[in-house]
Chain A
Amino acid sequence: MTEYAEKRAVISGAGQSDVGRRLHRDPLDLTLDACVAAIDDAGLTTADIDGIATYPGPMDTPPGFSGSGVVDVQDALRLNLNWYTGGLDLPGQLGSVIDACLAVACDLATHVLCFRSVYEGSAQGEGGRAAVMPGGGGRGSFRAGSFMQWVLPFAAPSAATWIAMFAQRHFHEFGTTEEQLAQIALNARRNAGLNPKAIYRDPMTMDDYLAARMISTPLRLYDCDVPCDGGTAVIVSRADTVADLRKPPIQVEAVGTAIHGRPSWDQFDDLTTMACRDAGAQLWTRTDLKPSDVQLAEMYDGFSFITMAWLEAMGFCGRGESGPFVEGGQRIALDGELPLNTNGGQLSAGRLHGYGFLHEACVQLWGEAGDRQVPGGPEVGVAAAGGGPLAGVLLLTQRR
């Protein structure tokens, strides 16, 4: 098989700040906590870091969406950079990490600090979701342009409603049920109970799930992730630097970045799946491993249905079969055949926006996950992020 470039990249360290519903701390403070922790975890110093990659780069709106940009972190840590990138037009949040893999693979950088931080919890304040909606809640001179003009005039400002329509179509075509969808949220909550940093840790039953208020059919409250404050960072290093690192790094085995349909929430060809369909299929063309080799999956759950779409996209089950696949929840539990979202995901551990999944995959593959550690020393994991037209995925290995 072709020696794809991403195989020359490893993840050498990971770090995370405090995570909370509303920490009311400076977002750069959270970002730097994560970055310094990741650099230390790799056994490196700031003098070794010569690259930065981040998502989405500096943004003032929506409030709390971007905790820091490249410039903030470079200057705060006084880094000398050979390569950097930060932006929104990427294959999902982890597209920035995939960029870093390519940068080290072609010798533009040696150790790239990748980060994502949010303070959406604090930014909401007491105003709830309405406080951070596009258009600032609507009144005034704001007029919707670009894609938002096709949804905001119809009182559909939230991805909750957009994803709900994908879920509804999936229910219609494949007979997927609310109780099946619930398993994504119930599994996340069960795992969050074992994660001391998770935001929602109290046990949740099917009755609790079904009794929660409807947001946008068929999505209920617990199908929606929880805005939070926190920062996450990983270090992507060139594979031949292993002797300089504190611990055996995690190998990047393959990545997926494709989108072959229209890049849109409502014009995509198949409304039962998303860009993840193409990113997932592409990934499996770049490795000899198979879906059956994967021992844990950390896959985006901004809304529960997105994880269902990723399960199908990654070939863990067939098209339209995610409902029966998660039925009952045993298969995706920590001791099941495909442990899923082992830290509680964004649904229960907090919306760290994509990077949380990669962090958790690394922690699990290093065997550092404490009470929620997947048993048996897992060696192959998936970290996937993005919903709708956004999708980026990494296949990771830790050979012992």
Chain B
Amino acid sequence: MSDHEVPFRILPRVIDLNRHFWTGGEDGELRFLRCQDDGTYVHPPSPRCPNCLGKNVSPEDVSGRATVVTYSINHQQWMPGPEVPYVVAIVEIVEQEGVRLTTNIVNCDVHAVRIGMPVRVVFEEHADGDERVWIPLFEPMKTDGEQ
């Protein structure tokens, strides 16, 4: 996103429970709560593991790699924000089936997006008063030669 102005976005309300998610981008890391007892990733964040009901959950980095589960090319300007058309997608992280994010697919033609496409996280930094948040967006994985 470095070659043009960062678009306006409605920002999340950062609270203790979600801070790891919205600020992980400062270190270039996508983070989810993970149960330290049975390994379950917990998203959206919750104080308990939904699998074992334990409270031993804490943030962990994931690879940032994901797969496009579904998407839509959005043509309607709902509010100030990215220029239309833009792609809204649901991606699933490679670490755990069913852990999904609604996001935007960026750095590619909107018509190039496909279900099943491998993608990786990129972060868009936004100032919010005295604090900063990092919005996790996704771009297509480059082919091996380009990585």
The residues of B that contact A166 with a CB separation of less than 8 Å are 70
The yes or no answer to B104 lying at the interface (CB within 8 A) is yes
CA of A160 to CA of B79 in the docked complex: distance in angstroms? 14
The residues of A that contact B74 with a CB separation of less than 8 Å are 155-156, 161, 164, 215-217
Among listed B10-18, B57-65, B139-147, interface-contacting one: B10-18
Q: Is the CB of A153 within 8 A of B10?
A: yes
A-B interface contact total, Cβ < 8 Å:
128
The yes or no answer to B73 lying at the interface (CB within 8 A) is yes
Q: Mark A141-176, 1 if CB is under 8 A from B, else 0.
A: 011110101111111111011101110110010000
The residues of A that contact B77 with a CB separation of less than 8 Å are 130
CA of A209 to CA of B112 in the docked complex: distance in angstroms? 25
CA of A164 to CA of B135 in the docked complex: distance in angstroms? 22
Within B50-75, the residues touching A (CB, 8 Å) are 69-75
Within B1-54, the residues touching A (CB, 8 Å) are 7-15, 18, 43-44
The yes or no answer to A242 lying at the interface (CB within 8 A) is no
Q: Is the CB of A168 within 8 A of B88?
A: no
The residues of A that contact B72 with a CB separation of less than 8 Å are 161, 164-165, 168, 216-219
Among listed A131-139, A244-252, A282-290, A308-316, interface-contacting one: A131-139
Once A144-B12, A145-B13, A155-B9 are accepted as A-B contacts, the answer to whether A150 and B79 lie under 8 Å apart by CB is no
Nearest A-chain residue to B50, judged by Cβ = A262
Once A150-B101, A153-B10, A165-B90 are accepted as A-B contacts, the answer to whether A158 and B70 lie under 8 Å apart by CB is no
- What's the interface size class on A, roughly? 35 or more
Q: Is the CB of B102 within 8 A of A154?
A: yes
Within A44-66, the residues touching B (CB, 8 Å) are none
Q: Is the CB of B10 within 8 A of A142?
A: yes
Within A253-271, the residues touching B (CB, 8 Å) are 265-267, 269, 271
The yes or no answer to A78 lying at the interface (CB within 8 A) is no
Q: Is the CB of A137 within 8 A of B71?
A: no
Q: Tell me the minimal C-beta distance from A190 to chain B in angstroms.
A: 26
The yes or no answer to A129 lying at the interface (CB within 8 A) is yes
The residues of B that contact A144 with a CB separation of less than 8 Å are 10-13
Q: Tell me the minimal C-beta distance from A357 to chain B in angstroms.
A: 25
Q: Is the CB of B13 within 8 A of A129?
A: no
Q: Is the CB of A154 within 8 A of B90?
A: no
Q: Which of A156, A164, A213, A215 has the most chain B CB within a 10 Å cutoff?
A: A156
CA of A372 to CA of B13 in the docked complex: distance in angstroms? 49
The yes or no answer to A106 lying at the interface (CB within 8 A) is no
Q: Mark A208-224, 1 if CB is under 8 A from B, else 0.
A: 00000111111100000
The residues of B that contact A160 with a CB separation of less than 8 Å are 76
Q: Tell me the minimal C-beta distance from B99 to chain A in angstroms.
A: 8
Nearest A-chain residue to B126, judged by Cβ = A153
Q: Is the CB of B76 within 8 A of A158?
A: yes
CA of A218 to CA of B73 in the docked complex: distance in angstroms? 8
Once A138-B8, A143-B12, A153-B11 are accepted as A-B contacts, the answer to whether A169 and B70 lie under 8 Å apart by CB is yes
Nearest B-chain residue to A265, judged by Cβ = B102
Q: Tell me the minimal C-beta distance from B84 to chain A in angstroms.
A: 9
Q: Tell me the minimal C-beta distance from A96 to chain B in angstroms.
A: 27
Nearest A-chain residue to B43, judged by Cβ = A267
Q: Which of B9, B73, B103, B135 contacts A216 (CB 8 A)?
A: B73
Nearest A-chain residue to B115, judged by Cβ = A172
Selected A-B contacts with CB under 8 Å, 27 pairs: A137-B80, A138-B80, A138-B81, A139-B8, A139-B80, A143-B128, A144-B10, A144-B11, A144-B13, A150-B102, A151-B102, A153-B11, A154-B88, A154-B104, A162-B102, A168-B72, A168-B115, A169-B70, A169-B115, A216-B73, A216-B74, A216-B88, A217-B72, A218-B72, A265-B102, A266-B102, A267-B98
The 3 closest A-B pairs by CB, nearest first: A143-B13, A164-B72, A155-B81
